[in-house]
Amino acid sequence: MADPSALLKDVAGKRVLYVMATEQEYGDELRSLFTPLRTGVGPVEAALGLAVGLARLAHSFQLPDLIVSIGSAGSQRLEQGEVYQVSSVAYRDMDASALGFPKGETPFLDLPPIMPLPFSVADIPSATLSTGANIVSGADYDGIDADLVDMETFAHLRAAMQFDVPLVGLRGVSDGAEELRHFDDWTRLLPILDMKLASAVNGVEKSIRDGMLA
């Protein structure tokens, strides 16, 4: 892992760390705005990658004031090619209901199954999100009570919480209207999302400069 302190972006005196899963989601427009910490795909890699990065930053007394988790997501409900800020996130892989725990609730952890993200950025529509380790497609959506699905945001949030750093989630809808059959069913809209996510990043940074975030 590269030195994470080199990835911190100063926005109006606040340290912002942008976090992404993959190179494919990091297009030219986003490249012009920040260099992300890339954590890898899925909840395990996402939590591990961000936790290690934050531990290194904490060791050098350079923890960020805000983390922005940014990337693509699937949705059957929302418009394809549009960008949303995450209002809440759940962990769909967690199911200890056989032991009497509500689905989505981690046993013996004093946290609700659905975690709210408190910050709100003006002019970016909000949506609920479900994080899990599977690529959701077709009928898989039927059992998910959230607007969006991804594989990293909940993990990024839990890592951020361990270091008391707030997190904003931005997700662009890359797929979900039709069943996924090929790799390019995911990548087809990424160039469009690159532009729209860049606009959302500018909105986040404007909110920071206006004193509304971090």
pLDDT one-digit tens code per residue, 37-54: 999 999 999 999 999 999
pLDDT in the model for residue 118: 87
- Read off the pLDDT of each residue in 98-112 and give the average, rounded to a whole number: 92
Taking alpha carbons only, the member of 145, 106, 104, 112 closest to residue 128 is 145
Q: Give me the mean pLDDT over the 168-172 stretch.
A: 98
* Range name among 20-24, 57-61, 181-185, 205-209 with the lowest pLDDT average: 181-185
| CA angle at 177 for the pair 171 and 181, rounded to the nearest 5° | 100
Higher-pLDDT residue of 213 and 209 is 209
CB 96 within 8 A of CB 105: yes
pTM: 0.94
Cα dihedral value 41, 43, 48, 51, nearest 10: 110
Residue 61 tokens read as 């007394």
Q: Which fold has domain 4-207?
A: Rossmann fold (3.40.50)
User: Which has the higher per-residue pLDDT, 150 or 120?
Assistant: 150
C-alpha to C-alpha distances, 50 to 15, 34, 151, 154, 159, nearest whole angstrom: 15, 16, 14, 12, 6
Please give the Cα distance from 57 to 47 (Å, whole number).
15
Answer whether residue 214 shows pLDDT above 70.
Answer: no
- 191, pLDDT greater than 90: yes
